[in-house]
Structure 1
């Protein structure tokens, strides 16, 4: 089982999606998934766990999560007090800052999160009071669909990104993973996979590393991550390959080898299965 590659059913001219104040159960949440778009998740109330990239985070009131594109993630709401949150999805291609004599980027907070690989911000009460009207305004524009509502939503999105960068980023800590989520050995295994996923590692190697039985590791991994270890490693390899296809002119065969694939046909088959396109088509679309 591979993570779900979420596809957004929207007009190509307006690559934006919005899920306002949803209270989700574990049955309604997607399993491990990823998508090309960027995602903002703001928590109003409730509790849960958010797995992003290779780290577990607690979810609670006032938390803000910034998830760059092509990042594996999965939210698990608490059974007794499930999380109520708003999710904002948008293609980074629609965010283009005019050149006004400085190097400002509306996506800086996402770029920073990807660079340090920590994705959670904890908002103070005044910041929450500033954040929530932006989200409410977007919801109002979506419901009314007045002339120019897309332009209004776009402006609200820019205001939201500006607020996150200037006010939230400077006033809150971008926090690391929460130490009480999941067993210690599981967090260590996720870090080990993150550092070695392009190498020849499997259940046997990982169970020895964790000092637990292969059956126990497999069961706990599936319970916490929502997919098996082999599929998780495969997907991380594919995401890395896609990144290399966009960043370099290295030929596809060499990229397959760099990402741990033993043969080019296997790489092509797995790439198409996970992303829905061939490596060559992905490189062309990225550029």
Structure 2
């Protein structure tokens, strides 16, 4: 019932001349409709206070709150009251998924933005965090100025600033400032999963993952089994194959060889990589890449 009343905003209303990034500053009002969109949005509370309604959740917000909203998330900001002394001002940076895919594949796997890639692959997930010392404010100020002034090379500057913003959010996530999960056990398991995914190119052990998550090895093993239905070893294997499938199907990484992808996924032994990949998918890595390319072009 509620979903049918949500208004869909389309990127084509904002993106012009081949630039699929749009930045604006807006005072939120009570007459603006709840909406979802076919683009990615990062919104920052510039001033004032109020509430952010996301799906079925209501979050009190004030200056310094930041949200990362993938495609299809319904939301709306509301001021704290119609007579609020200071307006609830939001700065929005919206961009299409192609730019996001590009920016999250610019760097080698060990430096990539894989928390965000994992996030957007899970329907209904979003992020909420707060800045510590105005770091997001400065970036949004620069983004807005570049977009409004449109000086020579502003398109490249916007892309560079957006990459800085994503990296800054990654750092905040790593410091444990992402929105709290339902309970402490879930939070520890999430930290363990993020740590594993960040270090697939290495050899993460149960001991080092447990230490990072702040939990004992046996408890972590139990938590992972309860959450994922897999042992630590089986989970590591699954994550590596998932990473390799992601890299094989990324159009911006078409120049990577299968050996490169195997190494980035933490399976540098090419023979073993081929065997595990085929056992999991029924195809060799090369066949999988070719099959995906044929599907997307047909």
TM-score between both structures, scaled by the size of structure 1: 0.53
Tell me what 2:57 maps to. Answer: 55
Alignment of 1:36-185 (within 5 A): 36-79=38-81, 80-81=83-84, 82-95=87-100, 96=102, 97-98=104-105, 100-102=107-109, 104-106=111-113, 108-109=115-116, 111-112=118-119, 115=122, 117=125, 119-124=127-132, 126=133, 129-175=134-180
CA apart distance, 1:153: 0.6
CA distance in 1, matches of 2:29, 2:127: 22
Aligned-residue offset at 1:106: 3.6
Q: How many angstroms does 1:144 deviate by?
A: 2.2
Corresponding residue number in structure 1 for 2:217 = none
CA distance in 1, matches of 2:61, 2:40: 19
Displacement of 1:88 in angstroms is: 1.0
Evaluate the alpha carbon distance shift between residue 63 and residue 33 of structure 1 in structure 2; reply closer, same or farther with a 3 A threshold.
same
For 1:32, the equivalent position in structure 2 comes to: 34
The structure whose Rg is larger is 2
Note the aligned Cα RMSD (angstroms).
2.9
What is the alpha-carbon distance in structure 1 between the residues aligned to residue 69 and residue 163 of structure 2? 17
| CA shift in 2, pair 1:114/1:147, >3 Å | same
Q: Structure 1 residues 87, 111: CA separation in 2 closer, same or farther (over 3 Å shift)?
A: farther
C-alpha offsets along residues 239-261 of structure 1, whole Å, 9 cap, x if unaligned?
Answer: xxxxxxxxxxxxxxxxxxxxxxx
User: CA separation in 2, counterparts of 1:157 and 1:99?
Assistant: 13
Runs of 4+ in 1 over 6 A off after TM superposition: 284-287
Please tell me whether residue 4 in structure 1 is matched to residue 7 in structure 2.
yes
Decide whether aligned partners of structure 1 residues 113 and 69 sit closer, same or farther in structure 2, where only a CA change above 3 A counts.
closer
Deviations 1:100-131 (A, max 9, x none): 5425544634743874835321322x2xx221
> Does structure 1 retain, via aligned residues, the 8 Å contact 2:45–2:65?
yes
Deviation at 1:94, TM superposition (A): 1.1
Structure 1 residues without counterparts, runs of 5 or longer: 178-283
8 Å CA contact retained: 2:129, 2:172: no
Could you tell me which residue of structure 1 aligns to residue 278 of structure 2? Answer: none
In 2 relative to 1, CA 100–88 (structure 1 residues): closer, same or farther, beyond 3 Å? closer
Query: Quick one: higher RCO (CA 8 Å, sep 6+), 1 or 2?
Result: 1
CA distance 1:24–1:43, shift in 2 (3 Å): same
The C-alpha deviation readout for 1:125-144, integer Å capped at 9, x for no partner, is x2xx2211211111221222
Q: Hey, what does 1:227 align to over in structure 2?
A: none
**TM-score, length basis structure 2:** 0.51
Indicate conservation of the 8 Å contact 2:28/2:77, yes or no: no
Any conservation in 2 of the 1:23–1:83 contact (CA below 8 Å)?
Answer: yes
The aligned length equals 175
